[in-house]
Amino acid sequence: MFKGFANVWTPLVLASKLGRAPMRVILAGEPVVLFRGRDGAIGALIDRCPHRGIALSLGRVCEDGHLECAFHGWRFDTLGANMFVPLNPDARRDRLGATALPARQVGDMIWVHTSPGAEAPHEPIAPDGLTAPGLMRTYIEREWACHWTRAMENMLDSPHLPFVHRRTIGRPLIRRMTPTSRMEVTWMDTPNGGRAQAGLDGDGSSAFLEFFRPNMMALNIPIPGRHLRIHALVIPAGAGRTRLIVAGSRDFARLPLLNLWFSWLNGKIADEDKAVVESSGPQETPPAVAEHSVATDRATLQFRKYYYDTLRDSHA
């Protein structure tokens, strides 16, 4: 289960998208059903009824906050415990539970831990732009036909900016680049991943990006005295499919109408990457030795090392 993406916390969906009805989401090849219990607790179950294997997301959330299977009406609570087996008062319900995943709301998003069981070994760690109070936040969502590792590397890759993003965030770099320019990419390990900075011709840019294991990037855009960040949350979905959520956070230009502009820009930047990333072959990021790399690939190679050392062989 969750092969190649097991035993990690990941953001999954915006909490505002989960209403009264159960919601099916594919995460790293596994169908997951999300629902809210009566106390507001979030349930995340493998979307397969333990009775006859049908999708629990076809069912409904009852008045008492239990998820009722559409086939024979078995009911489950947010931890997967079987609460009711209709027509079978003698059923051993303690043996008839569904498979639950740890789930939390963190900031505006629902997160799940990709290992079955009620407990996770630690709490989710989110970039603070997603959780700090008092910030304006915007979200856009895209689905790309690619393996998530290629999309994640793209988010950590600075030397593509003057090419793929020549009309948006790459424009300042193009103005300064000459045929003999050199980009210096530095990497520093952090407790939750790493921090990369790209300077051009010895001119240390104060913009930097942070990688948060397993699948998040936060780009810090330097404006003195201001907070402006773009986060990429790269979520593995079905085979060869990736859901990308781009979250912007800022502490200025607070007019809610301006959210439309920030969302539009983040969507435009993401759309510039789509065709390039989707064309990658092989689909999954290969081991470092299988492709040619140069000095400006430092940050993506760090991700590749993490993926191959820790995640790729993982399963729950």
Name the residues that contact ligand FES, by CB under 6 A: 49, 51-52, 54, 69, 71-72, 74
Size of the site for Fe ion (CB under 5 A): 1
Name which of 82 and 220 has its Cβ closer to ligand FES: 82
Q: What's the min distance (Å) between Cβ of 85 and ligand FES?
A: 8
Asked if residue 153 binds Fe ion (CB under 5 A), the reply is no
Q: What's the min distance (Å) between Cβ of 16 and ligand FES?
A: 29
The residue range among 126-134, 140-148, 245-253, 268-276 that interacts with Fe ion, by the rule CB under 5 A, is 268-276
Q: How would you class 275 by CB atoms within 10 Å of its CB: exposed for 0-12, middle for 13-18, buried for 19 or more?
A: exposed
99 vs 76: CA distance, rounded Å: 10
All residues at 6 or more sequence positions from 244 whose CB lies less than 8 Å from its CB, including other chains: 141, 142, 143, 144, 151, 232, 233, 234, 235, 270
The residue range among 108-116, 194-202, 245-253, 272-280 that interacts with Fe ion, by the rule CB under 5 A, is 272-280
Find the angle CA(156)-CA(161)-CA(164) to the nearest 5 degrees.
110
Name which of 57 and 138 has its Cβ closer to ligand FES: 57
293 vs 281: CA distance, rounded Å: 15
Can you tell me which of 47, 77, 273, 297 binds Fe ion, judged by CB under 5 A?
273
177 vs 66: CA distance, rounded Å: 59
51 binds, among Fe ion, ligand FES, none (CB under 5 to 8 A by kind): ligand FES
Strands, E, within the chain: which ranges? 9-14, 23-27, 30-36, 42-46, 60-61, 67-68, 75-76, 82-84, 103-106, 109-113, 136-144, 183-190, 193-200, 208-212, 216-220, 228-236, 242-250
Q: Which residue is nearest to Fe ion (CB)?
A: 273
Name which of 45 and 198 has its Cβ closer to ligand FES: 45
Name which of 26 and 54 has its Cβ closer to ligand FES: 54
Q: What's the min distance (Å) between Cβ of 205 and Fe ion?
A: 16
142 binds, among Fe ion, ligand FES, none (CB under 5 to 8 A by kind): none
| Structure token pair of residue 228 | 């402006």
Q: What's the min distance (Å) between Cβ of 50 and ligand FES?
A: 8
Residues at the contact surface with Fe ion, assessed by CB under 5 A:
273
